[in-house]
Structure 1
Amino acid sequence: MSADFETDYLVVGAGAVGLAFVDALLDEDPDCHVTIVDMHAKPGGHWNDAYSFVALHQPSAFYGVNSLEFGDDVVDSHGPNKGLYPLASGAEVSAYFTHLMNRRLLPSGRVSYHPLSRYDGDGSDGHAAFDSILSGKRTNVKVRKKTVDATFYKTSVPSTHKRQFGVAPGTPMAIPGDLPDLWKRGNDLPAHYAILGAGKTAMDAGVWLLQAGVDPDDITWVRPRDSWLINRTYTQPGPDFFEKVVENQIAQLNAAAEAKTGDEMFELLGRGGYMLRIDEDVKPEMFHYATISEGEIDLLRQIKNVVRKGRVTSVEPGKIVFADDEHSVPGNTLFIDCTATAVPFDDTRQHGPQFRGDTIVLQPLHVPLVTFSAALTAFLEVHFSDDETKNRLGIPAPLTDTPNTYPLGMLTNFMNRGAWSQNPKIAAWLAKSRLDPTGTTFAKMMAEGDTRLAVMGGFQAAIETGIPGLQRLAEAAQAEHQPR
């Protein structure tokens, strides 16, 4: 097969993960050429399909790519995120990645970008191909080094996911992205709203409706499973929040040492306010690393019409049907489908090591920091010679669906961090990595002799008892996590 052109790395996917890898690769290997293939018309992956009022869960300060700052150092002065660093909106994230492509990657002369293109999966013998979605034209590429799969997460959003329940004809149905256009309907507005789904998208929809002036009594929320949520107060960047970040880590280690199960570990963290739940009287069965502010929790607790009858099987005017039950709602109810799963846990993915000969499968090395993980993977690719070493220094951390499987991911994070701290090359890179929430902060505080570093004394003590506890909980989690 003759090639139309050659490249060193063929990256499949121009979402946040793929772009974070490419950005770091350009810095670490100044001679490489990279080709990016993506099905979207613009860079940014699923952010192109997200609802208009979506925002990051985490501070903008450590999202995106290493080379390009994101967000500012001014905390929000109003709203449910008051007192915390700002969260970029979906529009801001999309603009950020477009800016990255147009102002850094393409001008470098070392990146070839092919939007609206579908990779066909043929990477044998150093050759690959992709097809233009609009014209069907096939392009053949010779890959001199490796193909990089940046599609592991298979992120699903409301506008693109396949609905898993039936909708009777004439049933008012919407996705979150439709809500800001309700004003165009004039007086023909819904009398009631039914949010279907229990994840962060459903929470965003609930907050949006409440802030838009909808009476909480005019909202029904179908929550098949309640979720534990990370308190955003303890995920903030910079020296001013450093003590709280370390306090949270100490609390997690102490809880792991004391708890007999992951569920019990979360109960302990909930009592301390490190983990949050919307309903204090309901035991959450889900944990997907969603991060939320206490202000958002206060808003969502205003919604009292909560239905817990399992997953929805179908909806029709005035009725929600479940496998063994049904629930009535007002006839003019707008159903809002928030059932898309950001990471489809029941989907088959290529679990295993990242480095696989002529292929790299980007996976989380520190959950849930996916862009940081991708950037670090690029560093490992360039600075270490063999796959065995690279995979030993970057063990993929399993994605978490429940409290009981969380200790497995947390233990992997600590194992990786321990290995990185012992490697001078990686440690030096972490000290200057914008995407590492604590790396640059810790280095800055060390250089200035900041007295707030004293909190680290408690961290070292917690490690001694917490790691054995995590190992015990992680071993128990293996059986639950294995089928995923």
Structure 2
Amino acid sequence: MTTIETDYLIIGGGAVGMAFADTIIAETDAHVTIVDRQAKPGGHWNDAYGFVALHQPSAFYGVNSLPLGENRKDTHGANAGLYELASGAEVSGYYDKVMRQRLLPSGQVTYLPMSEYREDGRVVSLMSGGETQVTVRRKTVDATYNSPTIPANHTPRFVVGEGVQLVPPGELLRLWLKSERPSRFVVLGAGKTAMDAVGWLLAMGTPPDAIQWVKPRESWLINRTCTQPGVEFFDAVFGGQLAQMQAFAEGTSPDDVFARLEAVGMMLRIDPDVTPTMFHYATISAGEVEQLRRVTNVVRKGRVKAITAAAIELDEGSEPAVADALYIDCTASAVEVRAPVPIFQGDRIVPQLVRVPQPCFSAALIAFVEAHYPDDAAKNGLCRTVPFPHDLTSYCTTNIVNLMNQGAWFGDERLGTWIRQSRLDGFGKIAASVDRSDSARVAVLQQMRQMGPLAVQNLMRLASAS
């Protein structure tokens, strides 16, 4: 058995583990060991379907020390005029680059791929079965706590009858290999994966009337124009954030909050005649919404219970099966419900979201706090776990904690300075670059700060009432 010593043992080499490692070696002289079951860094990106892409700008994703992409705007397609969105292949290649050009050359990182962590510091190679005993001098970091479920390894939660053709979305890219290709498609699911699948089918020339979309419920969507990193988008970004704070402070119910956000252009929905009941921070452009609206054969009868050659059985009834259709399973959830737990737990760190919806920024900030603050009480005070919303009411709770964290960070000079300099923060630099003689923009920033306490107070009332 091989033995090694390390300061931080990080379990998981995905986005969270990589962001934590990058910041902890930048802020300390600590040695880090990363253990991961995958053969390459990047976690679930290595198994993602081929047409997946980030749905928020590349500028906000990855590790703090190395930009992702070239900070360009797209000139074609539904994202035209907005900052680039890295493809899944680009993200996977980026993490390989981070490992080879940033982490390993530092001399502070040991990487154990194709390996599984067992309790008591044992790491087992998935190839040889050989064991490595790791002595951890400081802390173990569980970067897998919020790992997503992905379509490629998802087991459907419904019965699939004999003769039904059901595939994950990644199989769509292999249709060209088939001697006979389906002429009808049924997309199962209402989340971002399903939107991607429908969008891809349309982009590949599939007629809209050849697509049936089975949605358990509708979702509110963030307008991507309001998430742009360039100063030229100040009015859309900060004007939108001010409108959001006003909606938080003045909304009379969760539904009313979202209606107000839609009215100012921050939120979008695919079907203007159906009020969404779900929100998972999916981000989309107005151009993408326009394309998705071309599919009008939409089934809204709850979740799928079973699919047979004759019918689709759902919570609220059944639907006749589409003859010879290819069913595309987009029902895997990247945001399974998990109970928030304290992030700093003695000799263990469990990274979670401290700002929704930014896992990379959250992991990097947690590493900075670990490096510079004295004890778990102080660290957890700066890093409250933000619960991910699963409906409109829980969105209120999410933003209560988001705003509380934001207030704590900028009340701490050292942490506030780090955030403003972090490339993963995104908006801090835009705010800092505002010319103080620009009275209109300065007023927007001042109003946002003033609205904070009122927003938290009203959100607490809405969450309690619901």
Normalised by the length of structure 1, the TM-score is: 0.93
Cα distance in 1 between the residues matched to 2:383 and 2:40: 30
Residue 39 of structure 1: aligned partner? 37
- The answer to whether the Cα contact below 8 Å between 1:161 and 1:340 also exists between their aligned partners in 2 is yes
Residue 458 of structure 1: aligned partner? 444
Cα distance in 1 between the residues matched to 2:128 and 2:460: 49
Residue 454 of structure 1, CA deviation: 3.5
Cα distance in 1 between the residues matched to 2:416 and 2:157: 46
Is 1:306 aligned to residue 304 of structure 2? no
The code of the aligned residue for 2:399 comes to: M
The code of the aligned residue for 1:457 comes to: A
1:26-175 paired onto structure 2 within 5 Å:
26-29=25-28, 31-122=29-120, 128-175=121-168
Residue 293 of structure 1: aligned partner? 285
Residue 475 of structure 1, CA deviation: 4.8
- Residue 152 of structure 2 aligns to a residue whose secondary structure is coil
Cα distance in 1 between the residues matched to 2:244 and 2:270: 20
Is 1:471 aligned to residue 457 of structure 2? yes
- The answer to whether the Cα contact below 8 Å between 2:431 and 2:445 also exists between their aligned partners in 1 is no
Cα distance in 2 between the residues matched to 1:452 and 1:61: 26
The code of the aligned residue for 1:157 comes to: I
- Residue 112 of structure 1 aligns to a residue whose secondary structure is strand
1:194-218 alpha-carbon deviations (Å, 9 max, x no partner):
0000000000000000010011111
- Structure 2 residues not aligned, in runs of 5+: none
- Residue 392 of structure 2 aligns to a residue whose secondary structure is coil
- The answer to whether the Cα contact below 8 Å between 1:405 and 1:477 also exists between their aligned partners in 2 is yes
The code of the aligned residue for 2:6 comes to: T
Residue 422 of structure 1: aligned partner? 411
Residue 4 of structure 1: aligned partner? 3
Is 1:218 aligned to residue 210 of structure 2? yes
More displaced 10-residue stretch of structure 1: 73-82 or 49-58:
73-82
1:414-454 alpha-carbon deviations (Å, 9 max, x no partner):
221222112121122122111001123333x15xx365574
Cα distance in 2 between the residues matched to 1:177 and 1:272: 36
Residue 468 of structure 1, CA deviation: 2.5
Residue 316 of structure 1, CA deviation: 2.1
Cα distance in 1 between the residues matched to 2:64 and 2:56: 16
The code of the aligned residue for 1:96 comes to: Y
The code of the aligned residue for 1:40 comes to: Q
- The answer to whether the Cα contact below 8 Å between 1:317 and 1:333 also exists between their aligned partners in 2 is no
1:65-464 paired onto structure 2 within 5 Å:
65-122=63-120, 128-186=121-179, 188-345=180-337, 348-349=338-339, 351-443=340-432, 445-446=433-434, 449=435, 454-464=440-450
- Residue 206 of structure 2 aligns to a residue whose secondary structure is coil
**Residues 102 and 421 of structure 1, relative CA distance in 2, 3 Å threshold:** same
Cα distance in 2 between the residues matched to 1:10 and 1:261: 44
- The answer to whether the Cα contact below 8 Å between 1:197 and 1:337 also exists between their aligned partners in 2 is yes
Residue 23 of structure 1: aligned partner? 22
- Residue 159 of structure 1 aligns to a residue whose secondary structure is helix
Cα distance in 2 between the residues matched to 1:55 and 1:319: 33
The code of the aligned residue for 1:397 comes to: V
- Residue 405 of structure 1 aligns to a residue whose secondary structure is helix
Cα distance in 1 between the residues matched to 2:229 and 2:438: 14
1:447-466 alpha-carbon deviations (Å, 9 max, x no partner):
xx365574241343354445
Cα distance in 2 between the residues matched to 1:283 and 1:381: 42
Residue 74 of structure 1, CA deviation: 2.3
**Residues 416 and 304 of structure 1, relative CA distance in 2, 3 Å threshold:** same
Cα distance in 1 between the residues matched to 2:377 and 2:369: 11
**Residues 452 and 222 of structure 1, relative CA distance in 2, 3 Å threshold:** farther
- The answer to whether the Cα contact below 8 Å between 2:436 and 2:442 also exists between their aligned partners in 1 is no
Cα distance in 1 between the residues matched to 2:37 and 2:374: 32
Cα distance in 2 between the residues matched to 1:428 and 1:6: 33
1:266-323 alpha-carbon deviations (Å, 9 max, x no partner):
0111122210010111111110010000010000000000001111011123521124
- Residue 238 of structure 2 aligns to a residue whose secondary structure is helix
- Residue 296 of structure 1 aligns to a residue whose secondary structure is helix
More displaced 10-residue stretch of structure 1: 174-183 or 463-472:
463-472
**Residues 426 and 463 of structure 1, relative CA distance in 2, 3 Å threshold:** closer
**Residues 174 and 478 of structure 1, relative CA distance in 2, 3 Å threshold:** farther
- Residue 404 of structure 1 aligns to a residue whose secondary structure is helix
- Residue 82 of structure 1 aligns to a residue whose secondary structure is coil
1:125-162 alpha-carbon deviations (Å, 9 max, x no partner):
xxx11212233222211100000111121201100122
**Residues 293 and 450 of structure 1, relative CA distance in 2, 3 Å threshold:** farther
- The answer to whether the Cα contact below 8 Å between 2:252 and 2:462 also exists between their aligned partners in 1 is no
- The answer to whether the Cα contact below 8 Å between 2:20 and 2:367 also exists between their aligned partners in 1 is yes
- Residue 400 of structure 1 aligns to a residue whose secondary structure is coil
- The answer to whether the Cα contact below 8 Å between 1:58 and 1:235 also exists between their aligned partners in 2 is yes
- Structure 1 residues not aligned, in runs of 5+: 123-127
Residue 191 of structure 1, CA deviation: 2.2
Q: Number of matched residues?
A: 466
- The answer to whether the Cα contact below 8 Å between 1:118 and 1:133 also exists between their aligned partners in 2 is yes
**Residues 332 and 33 of structure 1, relative CA distance in 2, 3 Å threshold:** same
Cα distance in 2 between the residues matched to 1:133 and 1:87: 34
The code of the aligned residue for 2:421 comes to: K
- The answer to whether the Cα contact below 8 Å between 1:261 and 1:473 also exists between their aligned partners in 2 is no
- The answer to whether the Cα contact below 8 Å between 1:318 and 1:332 also exists between their aligned partners in 2 is no
Cα distance in 2 between the residues matched to 1:453 and 1:382: 38
